[in-house]
Structure 1
Amino acid sequence: MKLSIISDQVSQNLEEALKIIVKEGYEYVELHNVFGHSIETCTKEEVEIIKHLLNRYHVKVSNIASTLFFLCPLYQGDEVSLFNPGFYSIQGDLEYHLKVLENACWIANELDCPKIRIFPFRWPDNRKGPYGTKLDFEKIIENIKKALDISKKHHVTLMLENCPYSHLPKGKMTLQVVQEINDPYLKLLWDPANSYRAIRENVPKEYMDWSLEEELLHLYPYIGHIHLKNYHYVSGLVKPFVHVPLLNGNIDYKTLVKSIQETCDCILSLEPEVDKKGTLLSMQCLKSLCSV
């Protein structure tokens, strides 16, 4: 099983991140925050710097972790905002995101990684859930088909991530989109922790019935990339899902990673969202799990 980590989880400085990633025995990196902005808006000059650093440290790119369609209103009148100022993201309407997708496809091919993460549209601040209605699915599918018209010209595969801040936080929901579109250039970016921490009030009941093991059982033929992180649920907090190192939370990754190894042929990429000490611990723990 090939292992990766999002570079800015290690350091906001790409070269510093690569030094640590190589030292920890990882051969792949996923790119999101670079040079103070999100990867999909990189210039030709910045891409040349990235290529130079990747070659220097002999690291390959596992995924282009763009923010396409995250801060993009699904409907006219929707107001969307950033939940974390440290999560760099582009913002604009669908037309702008599709325009940036063209640049992202060029970047993906330049970095020899024709895979781009996309989101199922941020849920709005000014409209209450539940989200993931029949109309939401129709609109999301319509928009993703427009994105595929662009990505397929560049032979780039789109990776649809289930995100707790989006209309489709559960893997069962993103699976429905991928199955309905049925295009080899659209795959799932499965994040089991995102499914775990989905806000119940935002999700229709029919999408709340699968455990993470059941999600994997249904999703694995469509998975192209996997993100790993963990949470510890603390009742009473305003934000009760607390980020913790990989093996310190409520998700049983010892069991789940074993099941992933038995079913999936894709790269496991860490997105630990913890401090540097916890990130290094997560990297070491994932290596240990995958070497058993």
Structure 2
Amino acid sequence: MEWKLSIISDEISQDFEHSVKVIKELGANYVEVRNLWNKNVTQLSDSEFVEMKKIVEKYGMMISNLDSPTFKIYINDEKGYREHLQILRKVVELSKKLDIDYTRIFTFWYEGELKYYIDKLAEKFGNAIDIASSEGITLVIENEYSCLVGTGKDLRAFLDKIKSKWVKVLWDPGNAFFARETPYPDGYELIKNDILHVHVKDAIVRDGHFVWMPVGKGMINYREQFKAMKGRPYVISLETHYRNSANDPEASTKESFEGILKILNQID
């Protein structure tokens, strides 16, 4: 398969083995691990971590990355900040055990435009960058509409501010859309050379409200976005967020993944 495709397991089920089985059947070759067995991956015991690895190997899959919630807190929450640096240390330790050389990070909850917080944000990232550089792990910032960095434009501004080789991008067109950016081409063009991982979800605006949709049935131009990504080495990971009328996460994820394959087949 030319495309490296992944699915976040908990978008299907908290039953990790069931999720991996479904991901394999759908035709992805990677599993992205966030929450499993009703806990975040950073909260797993040593034996649970071993069990997680065994399940992935059993189905002949690979883990694309481990998702901690690092810095999904308010920027002035000092107690939370210290706790989240510990979470970051933990996910870095676990990632290294899997030979994964990057980990996802956020940019604190949104309290206003980035320009008012960029100096403080750069200061707060200092300790995280120290951890990353000492361990040889790159931090990939996920643009998140509920955080200070929500768009490609914000990512570019912040990357230019901190100028660290240890900080790159987890590009999420769906989040950029929710943050009122046109993800492709506008956001993508600003950060395309700094992307290490991609999350895929689609959305529309219906009666003034943002609504998640199956990939290919929303307003995001994934055909051109995927075309621009063709040949790039990173993994494209489904994080559907969409739920069908029955509110069935597994069926909804399948519908979205089939939407991805349909678009990719048109490109090939």
**TM-score normalised by L of structure 1:** 0.83
Stretches of structure 2 lacking an aligned partner (at least 5 in a row): 243-248
Whole-angstrom distance in 2 between the partners of 1:284 and 1:112: 29
Whole-angstrom distance in 1 between the partners of 2:61 and 2:100: 12
Contact 1:4 1:30 in 2 (8 A): yes
Q: How do residues 226-237 of structure 1 correspond to structure 2 at under 5 angstroms?
A: 226-236=198-208
Whole-angstrom distance in 2 between the partners of 1:272 and 1:212: 18
Whole-angstrom distance in 1 between the partners of 2:183 and 2:70: 28
Whole-angstrom distance in 2 between the partners of 1:58 and 1:185: 30
2:95 matches 1:108: yes
* RMSD, matched Cα: 1.8
2:233 matches 1:265: yes
2:45 matches 1:43: yes
1:65-97 deviation digits (Å, cap 9, x = unpaired) = 211001x220259xxxxxxxxxxxxxx511111
Q: How do residues 182-197 of structure 1 correspond to structure 2 at under 5 angstroms?
A: 182-197=163-178
Task: State the SS of the aligned residue for 2:263.
Answer: helix
1:42 deviation in Å? 2.3
Aligned structure 1 segments of 4 or more residues deviating by more than 3 angstroms: none
2:132 matches 1:121: no
State the aligned residue count: 258
Whole-angstrom distance in 1 between the partners of 2:41 and 2:160: 28
Q: Counterpart amino acid of 1:138? A: D
Task: State the SS of the aligned residue for 2:42.
Answer: helix
2:58 matches 1:56: yes
Q: Percent identity?
A: 27
Which residue, 159, 163, 181 being the options, matches 2:140? 159
Q: How do residues 117-266 of structure 1 correspond to structure 2 at under 5 angstroms?
A: 117-124=104-111, 130-134=112-116, 136-198=117-179, 212-236=184-208, 240-261=209-230, 264-266=232-234
Whole-angstrom distance in 1 between the partners of 2:48 and 2:261: 31
1:246 deviation in Å? 0.2
Contact 1:230 1:249 in 2 (8 A): yes
Whole-angstrom distance in 1 between the partners of 2:216 and 2:85: 38
Task: State the SS of the aligned residue for 2:114.
Answer: coil
Change (3 A) 1:21 1:139: same
Task: State the SS of the aligned residue for 2:145.
Answer: coil
1:15 deviation in Å? 0.3
1:45 deviation in Å? 1.8
**TM-score normalised by L of structure 2:** 0.90
1:237-289 deviation digits (Å, cap 9, x = unpaired) = xxx11111001111121222112226x43111110012322210221222233
Whole-angstrom distance in 2 between the partners of 1:265 and 1:216: 16
Task: State the SS of the aligned residue for 1:93.
Answer: helix
1:150-178 deviation digits (Å, cap 9, x = unpaired) = 12222211110110111111111122222
Change (3 A) 1:211 1:252: closer
